[in-house]
């Protein structure tokens, strides 16, 4: 009798639990949901989860020891330095071009710094928000140095390798259709899959962002002829503004990432480097003081623009990672194997496109 | 005196019949609530990120090309998915046919009295049953098709052109009058069926062997030859030839298709061979002995006595293998063949919402699998022993 009553209680108990734990409007695990929680969550957690590339030398690359290096990696570390105070508080997650937005939407990464192009569809349908552009790039075409191709028209009827899930894939189609050139796309998931196909001459052209092509070319194995065996055509097929990406709907976190990038640009504008940042703290220039967190009003209060970041976040970023120019020179600059000139990725005062809004 | 007008049973909250029904209803309600909660969770989170949780995106222009087909990037996402389904059906259909034939041959070979044949078949089965199919497919692609020379300098055999971008075989090309020729062929096929039925009736009546296959083939050939002459040679052979970077003529088999097909067929055939062997061994020995006593040759014995009975046992597990082959075709994502899973992956990577696309993908595989299962069940019912 008692046993039968207890057996009835079981299902009723589960029903009650489900009914109470069923808040229809909140949903989810409530972890990083809502507008503006992620910054707090990360500060509490003490670590930033950064979605990155692991196969493009110079931008996002991992060596045999598991160390990540590259332009995008440096900005991941900058965000960690700004938010948690230590540039080492980053967990890197390698993502393929097909997975990256699903991983971002599924909250597996907090920020995606993975040579991702800013487009309208990604802002809209993909539910992503793009912070300040870190690298103004364009799409290019790479061929073997001994092939006769000099322009896109020469590539009529050829097979062209491209990464799937990228703007490159879509631009390739648009550009070739507009010029009425037939071609055959070989769309593969990773650069690692494209490389053997290109080596075996399964495809005669390899299209990607020019920066990626430069990185791949710089690391081309000597057994296949080294970098000299490849040639990047002297044309740009599209605009590719690359920058960090966060999820829509979290303005606080977006501001944090955005202003971290802007701080590196402002630092270069003011001539603040990793070496002289401690000295610059003594500066009397109010702009520099505000940036480095040493500004004091007459009443003695600090400058807090309400971004949710610590007062000295820019100081931490510059001290631990460096300003934009230093990051550039260290990873993709003219003295690195990639050898990319600043070009549009220079300060506006030097003719480039980097223009930091005032930090005030 | 006892009241015997109305039967007095236990109260409803102790009545076992009521409790059973109530229990099932409560369980169903729980499952329904759980599913609804999961669904609400998904929809809320999608909305919060600004992704619309409906299927409207299927009619948007795809923007991407599907390699190996004439699909234009201006057509809709749904059309791209259909191209993927067509490719999956192509590889699954041909794969099922080839795997059955190869599996049958190897399965029978495993029971051969010839030592070399038997050992060879055993080696084949034991090797390929134990290698994961993905590795087999990757091997066929990376170590076989990709190693072929590029299309600028292919291997040219009489009638065949082989390069790492594909295999070109001789084909037929249509010339004016081809439509009438095909129509005549159709009429010839119908006539062949009629002739086969007539010959069977002749055998039933007189007992002489019907030779219906020979008669039917003869009819088809005669009609085809007559139609060919009458319509003025409407089909010509199309031999592939290579110039520079292109190959004209012939029928092109994609390199990735070939690698996928080879991998799937070799793997599935090894399983089907085991099923065939087991089903042949399940036929009672008495049948084989009786057939020998009736002076049937080993070939006739196999064809008329053993295999029909073995088939009955073999159909359900073989249907299973067909389902496996169809689902294993999704491994084409590893080599870039544009079957439906790959197309859906590309679509997701190009901005289409993942939950809905995966739901569409699962629905497609469910439909394909249920179709194959339906055909298998039909065959099963038809071949079942009527006495059971």
Q: What domains can be seen in chain A, in order of their start residue?
A: 138-239 (3.40.190.10)
Q: Which tops the pLDDT comparison, B120 or A37?
A: B120
pLDDT (0 to 100) of residue A317: 94
Ordered alpha helix ranges (H), B49-170? 77-109, 115-129, 133-139
**For residue B139, what pLDDT band results from cuts at 50, 70 and 90?**
very high
Q: Could you tell me what percent of chain B has a pLDDT over 70?
A: 97
All structural domains of chain B with their residue ranges: 77-147+256-383
Residue A16 clears pLDDT 80, i.e. is over it: no
**What is the residue-averaged pLDDT of chain B?**
88
8 Å CB contact of B49 and A127: yes
pLDDT (0 to 100) of residue A323: 93
pLDDT (0 to 100) of residue A12: 62
* Residues of chain B contacting A101 with CB distance shorter than 8 Å: 349, 351
Average pLDDT, stretch A56-84? 93
The answer to whether the beta carbons of residues B185 and B228 sit under 8 Å apart is: no
Of A138, A136, A117, A142, the residue nearest A194 (C-alpha): A142
8 Å CB contact of A125 and B351: yes
* Residues of chain A contacting B71 with CB distance shorter than 8 Å: none
8 Å CB contact of B49 and A18: no
pLDDT (0 to 100) of residue A18: 46
Option in B23, B73, B164 nearest A202 (CB): B164
8 Å CB contact of A202 and B255: yes
Give the integer Cα–Cα distance in Å for A221 and A198: 13
Mutation to test the A interface, candidates B38, B48, B71, most A Cβ within 10 Å: B48
Residue B331 clears pLDDT 90, i.e. is over it: yes
Question: What does the pLDDT look like over B20-43, one tens digit per residue?
Answer: 999 999 999 999 999 999 999 988
Which residues lie below 8 Å from residue B156, measured CB to CB, with a gap of 6+? B162, B242
Distance from CA of B191 to the nearest CA of A (A): 45
Among chain B residues, CA nearest to A147: B152
**For residue B2, what pLDDT band results from cuts at 50, 70 and 90?**
low
pLDDT (0 to 100) of residue B350: 81
8 Å CB contact of A164 and B352: no
> What tokens were used for B337?
């063949």
Distance from CA of A190 to the nearest CA of B (A): 10
Of A275, A260, A259, the residue nearest A326 (C-alpha): A275
Average pLDDT, stretch A44-67? 92
pLDDT (0 to 100) of residue A23: 41
Average pLDDT, stretch A40-60? 92
Q: Which range is most confident: A48-57, A296-305, B71-80?
A: A48-57
Question: What does the pLDDT look like over B317-328, one tens digit per residue?
Answer: 999 999 999 999
Residue A139 clears pLDDT 80, i.e. is over it: yes
Distance from CA of B348 to the nearest CA of A (A): 7
Residue A22 clears pLDDT 70, i.e. is over it: no
CB pairs under 8 A between A and B: 126
Average pLDDT, stretch A344-353? 93
Give the integer Cα–Cα distance in Å for A306 and A11: 50
Question: What does the pLDDT look like over A194-222, one tens digit per residue?
Answer: 998 899 888 899 999 998 899 899 889 99
The answer to whether the beta carbons of residues B272 and B99 sit under 8 Å apart is: yes
Q: Could you tell me what percent of chain A has a pLDDT over 70?
A: 90
The answer to whether the beta carbons of residues B335 and B256 sit under 8 Å apart is: yes
Residue A17 clears pLDDT 60, i.e. is over it: no
Q: Model ipTM?
A: 0.70
Which residues lie below 8 Å from residue B329, measured CB to CB, with a gap of 6+? B88, B91, B92, B95, B260, B264, B339
Average pLDDT, stretch B215-234? 85
Output the CA–CA distances (angstroms, integers) from residue A263 to A135, A280, A297, B57, in the order listed: 15, 15, 21, 39
Question: What does the pLDDT look like over B164-210, one tens digit per residue?
Answer: 888 988 888 877 777 888 888 888 999 999 998 888 888 888 888 87
The answer to whether the beta carbons of residues A230 and A217 sit under 8 Å apart is: yes
Distance from CA of B2 to the nearest CA of A (A): 27
**For residue A165, what pLDDT band results from cuts at 50, 70 and 90?**
confident
Q: Any idea which architecture B77-147+256-383 has in CATH?
A: Orthogonal Bundle (1.10)
pLDDT (0 to 100) of residue A224: 86
Chain-centroid distance, C-alpha B297: 34
**For residue B212, what pLDDT band results from cuts at 50, 70 and 90?**
confident
Question: What does the pLDDT look like over B240-285, one tens digit per residue?
Answer: 888 877 788 888 899 899 999 999 999 999 999 999 999 999 999 9
Of B123, B135, B124, the residue nearest B102 (C-alpha): B124
Among chain B residues, CA nearest to A97: B349
pLDDT (0 to 100) of residue A51: 95
* Residues of chain A contacting B150 with CB distance shorter than 8 Å: 200-202
Average pLDDT, stretch B59-78? 80
Distance from CA of B216 to the nearest CA of A (A): 45
pLDDT (0 to 100) of residue B120: 96
Give the integer Cα–Cα distance in Å for B151 and A93: 39
pLDDT (0 to 100) of residue B329: 95
**What is the residue-averaged pLDDT of chain A?**
87
> What tokens were used for B131?
């290698």
Mutation to test the B interface, candidates A9, A164, A192, A250, most B Cβ within 10 Å: A164
Option in A170, A174, A248 nearest B49 (CB): A248
Residue A98 clears pLDDT 60, i.e. is over it: yes
Average pLDDT, stretch B90-99? 95
Residues constituting chain B:
388
Which residues lie below 8 Å from residue B36, measured CB to CB, with a gap of 6+? none
Residue B286 clears pLDDT 90, i.e. is over it: yes
* Residues of chain A contacting B65 with CB distance shorter than 8 Å: 169, 173, 185, 187
> What tokens were used for B119?
């050992």
Residues constituting chain A:
360
Question: What does the pLDDT look like over B332-344, one tens digit per residue?
Answer: 888 888 899 999 9
Task: Provide the 3-class DSSP secondary structure of residue B305.
Answer: helix
Rounded to two decimals, the pTM is 0.78
pLDDT (0 to 100) of residue B152: 81
> What tokens were used for B234?
């409407």
8 Å CB contact of B246 and A28: no
């Amino acid at each position: 009798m008692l046993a039968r009553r207890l057996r009835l209680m079981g299902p009723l108990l589960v029903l009650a639990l489900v009914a109470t734990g069923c808040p229809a409007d909140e949903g989810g695990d409530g972890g990083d949901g809502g507008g503006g929680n992620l910054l707090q969550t990360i500060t509490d957690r003490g670590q930033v989860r950064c979605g990155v590339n692991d196969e493009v030398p110079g931008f996002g690359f991992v060596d045999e020891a598991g160390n990540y290096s590259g332009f995008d990696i440096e900005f991941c570390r900058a965000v960690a330095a700004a938010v948690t105070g230590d540039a080492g508080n980053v967990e890197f997650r390698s993502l393929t071009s097909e997975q990256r937005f699903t991983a971002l939407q599924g909250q597996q990464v907090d920020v995606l710094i993975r040579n991702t192009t800013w487009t309208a569809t990604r802002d809209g349908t993909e539910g992503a928000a793009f912070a300040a552009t870190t690298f103004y790039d364009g799409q290019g075409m790479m061929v073997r140095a001994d092939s006769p191709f000099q322009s896109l028209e020469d590539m009529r009827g050829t097979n062209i390798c491209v990464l799937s899930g990228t703007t490159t894939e879509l631009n390739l189609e648009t550009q070739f259709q507009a010029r009425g050139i037939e071609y055959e796309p070989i769309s593969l998931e990773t650069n690692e899959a494209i490389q053997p196909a290109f080596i075996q001459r399964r495809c005669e052209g390899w299209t990607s962002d020019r920066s990626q092509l430069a990185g791949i070319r710089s690391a081309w194995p000597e057994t296949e002829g080294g970098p000299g065996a490849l040639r990047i055509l002297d044309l740009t097929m599209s605009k590719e503004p690359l920058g960090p990406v966060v999820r829509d709907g979290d303005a606080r976190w977006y501001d944090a990432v955005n202003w971290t990038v802007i701080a590196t640009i402002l630092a270069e504008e003011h001539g603040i480097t990793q070496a002289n940042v401690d000295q610059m703290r003594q500066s009397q220039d109010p702009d520099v003081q505000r940036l480095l967190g040493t500004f004091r009003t007459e009443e003695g209060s600090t400058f807090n623009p309400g971004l949710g970041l610590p007062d000295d976040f820019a100081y931490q970023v510059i001290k631990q990672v460096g300003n934009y120019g230093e990051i550039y020179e260290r990873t993709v600059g003219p003295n690195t194997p990639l050898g990319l000139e600043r070009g549009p990725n220079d300060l506006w005062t030097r003719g480039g496109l980097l223009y930091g809004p005032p930090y005030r | 005196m006892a009241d015997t007008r109305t039967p007095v049973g236990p109260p409803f909250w102790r009545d076992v019949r009521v409790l059973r029904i109530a229990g099932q209803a409560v369980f169903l309600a729980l499952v329904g609530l759980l599913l609804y909660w999961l669904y609400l969770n998904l929809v809320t989170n999608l909305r919060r990120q600004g992704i619309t949780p409906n299927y409207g995106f299927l009619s948007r222009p795809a923007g991407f090309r599907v390699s190996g087909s004439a699909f234009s990037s201006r057509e809709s996402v749904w059309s791209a998915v259909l191209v993927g389904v067509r490719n999956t059906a192509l590889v699954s259909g041909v794969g099922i046919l080839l795997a059955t034939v190869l599996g049958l041959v190897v399965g029978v070979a495993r029971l051969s009295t010839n030592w070399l044949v038997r050992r060879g078949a055993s080696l084949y089965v034991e090797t390929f049953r134990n290698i994961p199919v993905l590795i087999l497919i990757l091997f066929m692609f990376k170590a076989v098709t990709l190693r072929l020379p590029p299309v600028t300098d292919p291997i040219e055999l009489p009638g065949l052109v082989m390069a790492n971008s594909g295999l070109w075989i001789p084909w037929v090309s249509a010339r004016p009058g081809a439509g009438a020729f095909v129509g005549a062929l159709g009429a010839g096929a119908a006539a062949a069926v009629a002739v086969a039925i007539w010959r069977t009736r002749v055998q039933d009546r007189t007992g002489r062997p019907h030779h219906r296959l020979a008669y039917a083939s003869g009819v088809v050939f005669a009609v085809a030859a007559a139609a060919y002459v009458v319509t003025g040679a409407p089909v010509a052979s199309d031999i592939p030839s290579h110039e520079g970077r292109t190959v004209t003529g012939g029928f092109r088999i994609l390199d990735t298709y070939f690698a996928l097909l080879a991998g799937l067929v070799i793997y599935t055939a090894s399983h089907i061979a085991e099923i065939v062997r087991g089903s042949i061994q399940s036929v009672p020995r008495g049948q084989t002995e009786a057939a020998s006593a009736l002076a049937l040759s080993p070939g006739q014995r196999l064809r008329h006595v053993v295999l029909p009975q073995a088939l009955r046992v073999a159909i359900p597990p073989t249907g299973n293998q067909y389902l496996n082959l169809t689902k294993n075709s999704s491994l084409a994502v590893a080599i870039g063949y544009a079957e439906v899973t790959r197309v859906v992956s590309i679509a997701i990577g190009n901005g289409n919402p993942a939950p809905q696309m995966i739901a569409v993908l699962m629905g497609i595989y469910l439909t394909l699998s249920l179709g194959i299962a339906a055909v298998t069940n039909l065959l099963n019912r038809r071949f079942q022993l009527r006495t059971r």
